[in-house]
Structure formats: C-alpha cells, structure tokens
Amino acid sequence: MNCKLATLFFLIFIVKSYSQNDLTVTQIPNWVNFQNVPENDNYDSGDIKYLLLDEQINIDKEVSYNHISIRVNTQNGIQTIFPYKLEYDPSYQKLKFHTLTIIRAKEKINKLQKKSITILNREHNAEKHLLTKSLTALINLDDIIIGDIIDLEYSIEGFNPIFKGHFSNSFPISAQIYLQKVHINVLCNPNKKIYYKYIGLNKKEPFITTKNNLKSYEWSFKTINPIPNEEGVPFWYLQSTYLDISDCSSWSDVVKWGISLLQKKKYNTIKYRALYDSIKANSIGKYSYVINSLRYVQDEIRYLSVSNGINSYKPHSPDVVLENRYGDCKDKVYLLLSLLEKEGIESYPVLVNSELSV
C-alpha cells in the first residue's frame, strides 16, 4: 500500500469513526441582549451579505452566544456558504443550537432538524501532522433560493481550562463581505477588569451598563464596507479590522501564564536517564552538550501535534514525549529545556505568533 493510499484510508477512518448526529437544542440564554435582524438596506454586496453578525460572551458562565443572518443574492452565494461550518473542541465545549430559520419575504421556515446538521471529526490538517480532535458541525439546508435569509442562533459552552480563568478574544469588525450590522457584547462580574484594543479601527468606546450583577461592555457597528481584495499585500499586513478584548493588562501577564505551563520538575524514568547519560557521555563540555541535546530533539523526536483541550497550549511532559517519540513545537521545547536544566544550563522558552511567523 503506497503512502498516499494509506493516508486516504486514515482520513476516511477519522471521518467515519467520529460521525454522529447528536443535535442539542435549547432556549436562548436569558442574559443575551437579543438583536433583531435588520431590514435589508439594498446595498449591492455581491453574492452574499451579512445582515447581522452578533457575538455575546458571558465570561462567568463561559458561554459564547452567536446570532448570524446571511442574505444570499446569487446562486453562487448559495454555493459559497453551504455547507456552513461550526467548529468546537468536545473535550471542554458543547455546541447548542437555538434557532435555524429561512426568512423568505414575510415567511419564516424552521430548518432546525437533524437532517440539516452533520457532526464530523474532519482533521483539516492531518496531512501536516496536526491533530486537534475538534468536531465540525456541517449545516446544509435544502430548498434555498436567491433572496433567502439564513438566520442562525447557537451557543458554545465552555472555555479552555488551560487559561485558568483568564479571558481573551478577537472580534472581526470587517471582512471582504459587506456587513450591515456587527454587534458585540461581553458580560462579566462587575469586579473583573476588561481591557480592549482596536486593530486598524478608530477607537469607539463601548456602551457600559451593569444589570443583574453583570457588567456589560457593548459595541455596535453598522454599514461596514467590504475590504478590497488587493493582490501583492504582504502576509503580515492585517487588512481587516479587529476588536481585541482581554483581562490581561499587559504582555507580562501573558508571560506569567505561559511560564506556569512549564513547571520545573525532575524526570527520572529509565528512558529519560538513559537519554541523559548518552548525551552526557558523547559531549565534551557545555556547548557540546547543548548541541547534542538540540540535535536529538530535532532529529529523533518526529513532529506530530495532538493539540486538543489543555494540550493545545500545555506541552506534554518529557517522559511522555520520549515514550511516544513524537511531539509538537512546545513538546520539543519542554524536552530540550529539561535536558539543559538537568546539566545546569540556564534556558528559557519564547512565546511566538505562529500564524504571522514572528
């Protein structure tokens, strides 16, 4: 069996073995500030337009509520948005649907039914040795015609426990598609301090209120023109505008959190001791030991990222990495740090933005 055929069988197995159609339907959370779908403003927006892009997050309850209304203007627009995809990590998150409706003129057609939604484990980047174990809900509606509005409300419950109560999120304010209305609402305990920053956008202060022992930071943006699709734009240049929100006041807070994931510990398994003794025996001085340790981690530990739940940020222990003989970037770093520390060599990990390659 050749490598390509084996990979194909592997990917088919992943999809089929995790296929399920568990559909959870609940009422809209009572803390949500419901937004009506605005009337179409007749802006010539191409194939599709977002009438409403609404995200509301309750930090204390660890719930993100989303309300999305999309109007399809052409047959190509219908082809573009379906199947519509929602992703979540089942190790700490639950996906709950509230409404799924087609608005056709004055008629509302309920489409929230099992046949419209399929939940799969697709592993988009398996060929890149990146496994997340995340699930994708594929929404595919029948009988869609030009002029229909697809109105979807759902919530995702659960924050990654690795953040230890910290919160951060980046909200897109613009896209290459016309946005008629964008609404953002972040709710938290009145004693919690929230910081926000605009990327590529003139500063707009939130509307802040306190009700039912919840402090609300609310933003609303209207008639946001699409971003031109320009060729030759550098990969690092952010054309879109964003609203970044966090409870960390500075990067030093992020560093403290990151360091807490790499608690120093002595490793003493048979494999670990054998590895250390081997590197030590074949090294002449500290510099040689560093080079030999680095070469082992680079060459003998194959790259494979199994990054779901807390291990999307927290590395596996060096013992586990040696036992598996594979790991991702942070796993390799942690193993190298432990080997250097055992020899009394001071070293530090570095947090990087892998998406911008910096």
| Per-residue pLDDT, 32 | 96
Residues 151-158 have a mean pLDDT of 96
| Per-residue pLDDT, 119 | 85
Residues 56-63 have a mean pLDDT of 96
Least confident of 3-12, 96-105, 214-223: 3-12
pLDDT one-digit tens code per residue, 164-176: 888 999 888 888 7
Give the long-range contacts of residues 293-301, CB within 8 A, separation 24 or more: 293/336, 293/339, 293/340, 293/343, 294/336, 296/339, 297/332, 297/335, 297/336, 297/339, 298/332, 300/325, 301/325, 301/326, 301/327, 301/331, 301/332, 301/335
Top CATH class of 3-249 equals mainly beta
CATH code 2.60.40.3140 region(s) in the chain: 3-249
| Per-residue pLDDT, 11 | 40
Residues 40-63 have a mean pLDDT of 91
Mean pLDDT across the chain: 85
| Per-residue pLDDT, 127 | 61
Higher pLDDT, 85 or 238: 85
Residue 128: band (very low, low, confident or very high) from pLDDT cuts 50, 70, 90: low
pLDDT one-digit tens code per residue, 258-280: 888 877 666 778 888 899 999 99
Residues 219-237 have a mean pLDDT of 81
